[in-house]
Amino acid sequence: MNEQKPVPVDPVRVAQVGVGYWGPNLLRNLVSSPRYSVRMAVEKDSDRKKLINKLYPELPVSSDFSAVCDDPDIEAIIIATPVASHADLAIKALKKGKHVLVEKPMATTVDEVTQIEHLSREGQLVAMVGHTFLFNNAVRQIKRIIDSGEIGQIRYIYARRLNLGRIRCDVDALWNLAPHDISIIQYWLDDPEPLRVQRTGMDYVQKGIDDVVFLNISYQDGIMANVHVSWLDPHKVRQITVVGEKKMIVYDDMEPSEKIKIYDKGISLTEPEEIHQLLVKYRSGNMLAPNILPTEALKLEVSEFIDQVKSNSAYSDNDLTHGRYVVEILEASNQSLKRNQRVYL
């Protein structure tokens, strides 16, 4: 007979706002965790309401955000609505004394992040942004490899997040897809402040909404990052390559088993015997694919949120500083698009 784990005496009383494309995954993790007591869902779409009622018939569903904001029994609110509403809802919830977990990106401007940060500190409330890939075991393993010095100084990073669809009308491909890769790159580099951002893209399907975007980010020490996102591509690609002076890493989230491949490849210059002689040494060694334990990153994310709520402590990997840099890069990309030039931060 299996021994049942004790249910916490004081689970966090939570409500979720928005149960659209990503929302059902969040709600499933909240409902299945004994550390949460889900009191209400807020959703305006009638089809989504029917889905919630079918999956969780005892869960109350409302169309009114104020229903959860004004409920003194609710301690925390999970926000999984369209991007444009993230900051507004988070600010309203914080003003009502609620902890918030907001889907990525947290806001559309740095000023909005500043408001959220101020209210969080003033009310001693947790305001966490849902950069789910920071809880991905492969992403964390690469962070450990980089920090160990095994690949040497990072030279550049490029990411590709491509697919045919899902076409959005509320945000463009960059704001929809790139927050994942920007967040991962910032995490691997220890959240440096970017120096320059330059964006190019094209709106093939809907005027004013780019379907394909190339984003270049420059950092100190000559490190460059390129993010290519598209929902008009024949292949589904979720891949990031890190080129170091000693070794190179390829992270492929679509790979079922070998998600990380470390290549012992590189180029170095030897001391020339004559002033005009250039001696280049090419190195091509073995490839290593470390074993990665499978876990659901979203489950770890909602667990981290409740840890923060219980301890009232900031989380170094996913705090507002990290969220601010992601929004700063995205906001600067908009300026780059408008000016058709590089933007200095």
What percentage of the chain carries pLDDT values higher than 90? Answer: 82
For residues 135, 137, 139, 143, the Cα torsion angle rounded to the nearest 10 degrees is 100
Range scoring the smallest mean pLDDT among 20-24, 139-143, 178-182: 20-24
Residues 79-88 have a mean pLDDT of 97
| pLDDT value for 344 | 81
| pLDDT value for 272 | 62
Q: How many domains does the chain have?
A: 2
Residue at 337 is within a domain: yes
Read off the pLDDT band of 325 (50, 70, 90): very high
Alpha-carbon distance values, 313 to 120, 125, 162, 306 (Å): 11, 9, 36, 11
Which tens digit of pLDDT belongs to each residue from 113-133?
A: 999 999 999 999 999 999 999
8 A C-beta contact, residue 120 and residue 127: yes
Residue at 2 is within a domain: no
| pLDDT value for 276 | 57
Asked if residue 129 and residue 153 are part of one domain, the reply reads no
Asked if residue 161 and residue 288 are part of one domain, the reply reads yes
Asked if residue 129 and residue 23 are part of one domain, the reply reads yes
Residues 313-342 have a mean pLDDT of 82
Read off the pLDDT band of 277 (50, 70, 90): low
Work out the mean pLDDT of the chain and round it to a whole number. Answer: 91
Strand ranges inside the chain, DSSP E? 12-17, 36-42, 61-62, 76-79, 99-103, 127-130, 154-164, 196-202, 212-218, 224-230, 232-244, 248-252, 260-270, 279-288, 343-344
| pLDDT value for 316 | 42
Residue at 41 is within a domain: yes
| pLDDT value for 85 | 97
| pLDDT value for 188 | 98
Residues 60-85 have a mean pLDDT of 97
| pLDDT value for 271 | 65
Residues 234-255 have a mean pLDDT of 97
Residue at 253 is within a domain: yes
| pLDDT value for 278 | 61
Asked if residue 246 and residue 188 are part of one domain, the reply reads yes
Asked if residue 262 and residue 198 are part of one domain, the reply reads yes
Q: Is the pLDDT of residue 6 over 60?
A: no
| pLDDT value for 7 | 44
What is the domain extent for residue 200?
135-296+327-344
